[in-house]
Amino acid sequence: MSFEQDFNRLQEIVRQLEEGDLPLEKSLELFQEGISLFRRCQEELNRAEGKISELIKSLDQGWETIPFERDGGGREPE
The reply to whether 23 sits near other proteins by the rule CB under 8 A is no
- List, as one string, the DSSP characters of 1-34: --HHHHHHHHHHHHHHHHH----HHHHHHHHHHH
Which of the residues 43 through 72 are near other proteins (CB under 8 A)?
Answer: 44-45, 47-55, 57, 62-63, 65, 68, 70-71
**Rg of the chain, C-alpha, whole Å:** 21
The C-alpha atoms of residue 34 and residue 6 are separated, in whole angstroms, by 9
Q: How far is the CB of 3 from other proteins (least distance, A)?
A: 5
Binding site for other proteins (CB under 8 A): 2-4, 7, 10-11, 13-14, 17-18, 20, 24, 27, 31, 34-35, 38, 41-42, 44-45, 47-55, 57, 62-63, 65, 68, 70-71, 74, 76
